[in-house]
Structures are given as structure tokens and as C-alpha cells.
Amino acid sequence: MFKQVLIIADIEGSSGCWDYGASSFLTPEWARACVAMTKDVGSVADALLRAGVETIRIKDFHRTGYNLLPEMINDDCQIIHGYRRGPVPGLGDPGRVQAVFFLGMHAASGTDGFLAHTLTSRIARLEVNERPLAEIELFAASLAPFEIRPVFFSGCPVACQQARNAVEHIYTYPIDKSTGGQHFNPESWRSGLALAAVEALSNEKTGLYRPVGPLHTAVTMRDGEDAARKIAARWNLKCIGDQIIFSAQNMQMLYLELIRICYLTPLVEKTLPFCLMAYNL
């Protein structure tokens, strides 16, 4: 059984996010979604602690990383807010844990899951070796060098299917977003989530996620040809129509290239350590 675990928590697949407004920053729906997301994560954390887990680190991974309400989560958990640059992009140092649990996740860009996107909605579609690429693959691959296994995933049914397609033997627990929030019973769903997470503590079948390269990548930009051409030129990448095309040796290299495409300019990349320090302050 895993005794030290990491939880990566997003909001789109949590029990309080039922539209785009709830995933946006500082809307009233968002505030309610933060409470629900916190309760989801909190109930999983409580259940894992009761089951004998000794260390729980929780990374808030939605947007800027300030959505979870720490006062509502067991004090024995360590919550990581904000954005850390490395060694794992966004997360920083994952610490000494053996398994990662993904909660509140969403499906990949260009697929028909609930609020589907990969990293940013500016990417209309993201394909790697002709398959849509979901965020779990980027995160799980970044954690593999630290011997951390991706054992559990929750999100909409499409997101769960994509997780199972990518990571062999991963346990999943879906949330049906098709009924809307009014007809949803968060308490009963949440207790099922916590139960499923505890079961995943003995999921020894899932190995480290290390997909074999080369990874041929096509990033279709929502803003069209001009936007794609501009970004491709900035980073010396190939561009065909509204697609930026490149190959990466492995998933970590692919992740770094996507971060450049989505968020950076060469100047920002150079000054990033300073900017991030200021931002997190």
C-alpha cells in the first residue's frame, strides 16, 4: 500500500463546476466551485489518512493555483499553491511520494468532454502521434523520473476514458456532467470518490508513465493561422495553416515545448525565475 501520496487537483471535473463561469477567476460560481472542489479533495484526503496514508501533498493545479481553501482540509496535509517552475513544471519538487492521484480533471483539447482543454483553451486541438493528448500524460510523465506512479484519476467520463487509454491499469472514478448541478448529489458522489481513491492505494499494477518517443505533435491554435505562424516563428517551429508541428524525444520535452507555445516568449523565458518569484510572493 502507498503511504506517501501526491494529489493533483483541478476544478473542471470537481463536483461544483458546471459551466465555464465556474472555472473562471473571481466569479460567484467560481467561489462556490472552490468550496466544492475543496470538499472533494478534503474527503479523499480524510479517507486516505484513515486508511493509513502517512503523507499527503496536495497541489492546486487550476489556473494560478489558488482555488483550494486550506482551512477546510485536514492539517496533516501539505497544500501547494501557486506555480513552481521546476523540476516538475507547475509543481516544483514533488517530494518523497510513491503515487499520484488526479482529482477534478478534464478531457483533452479537441475532444467532447466537459470543458475539454489541454493547458489552455487557446489550443483548439492537440494531437500526439495522431491521438488527443490529455494533461494527465504531461503530469504523469513529469513525475515518472521521481518514481511516482499515476494510480487514480477522476473527471468526466470522456476524461476518464482518455486516462485509461494512456495509463494502463489506472483506477478511474467518473463524474457525470450531463445532468447539470441541480440534479447532482455531491455528498453521495463524494463518498464514492473517497472509497474509490482508497482502493487505488493498493493499485500496484500501474507502472511509471514513460511513453516511448518520438512524439510527433500537432497543435491547432484556436486563433487561426496568423496566431500559429507568429508563435511558430518565435520558437523556430514548423507551421502548416493553423497548426504548429514538432517532434519531441519524450513527454517531458514535449511538455516544455507546449509551455513555451502557450505561455512564453524567449524574453519571458529568460526572466522567468525572477517573474515567478515575484508572482508567488
- Which positions lie near Zn ion, rule CB under 5 A? 10, 12, 62
Contact in structure between 220 and 232 (CB atoms under 8 Å): no
- Nearest approach, Cβ of residue 9 and Zn ion (Å): 9
Angle at alpha carbon of residue 83, lines to 82 and 87, rounded to 5° = 135
Q: Which is nearer to Zn ion, 42 or 104 (CB)?
A: 104
Q: Which is nearer to Zn ion, 20 or 279 (CB)?
A: 20
- Nearest approach, Cβ of residue 126 and Zn ion (Å): 15
- Nearest approach, Cβ of residue 14 and Zn ion (Å): 9
Contact in structure between 79 and 70 (CB atoms under 8 Å): yes
What's the Cα-to-Cα distance from 116 to each of 156, 162, 212, 244, rounded to whole Å? 9, 11, 25, 20
- Nearest approach, Cβ of residue 62 and Zn ion (Å): 4
- Nearest approach, Cβ of residue 7 and Zn ion (Å): 14
Bridge partner residues of 243 (DSSP):
220, 240
Q: Which is nearer to Zn ion, 2 or 102 (CB)?
A: 102
CA 49 and chain centroid, separation: 23
Q: Which is nearer to Zn ion, 3 or 122 (CB)?
A: 122
What cell was used for 23? 472555472
Q: Cβ–Cβ contacts within 10 Å for residue 51, how many? A: 16
Minimal CB distance to Zn ion: which residue?
A: 62
Q: Which is nearer to Zn ion, 15 or 243 (CB)?
A: 15
Residue with cell 497548426: 243
Residue with cell 493553423: 242
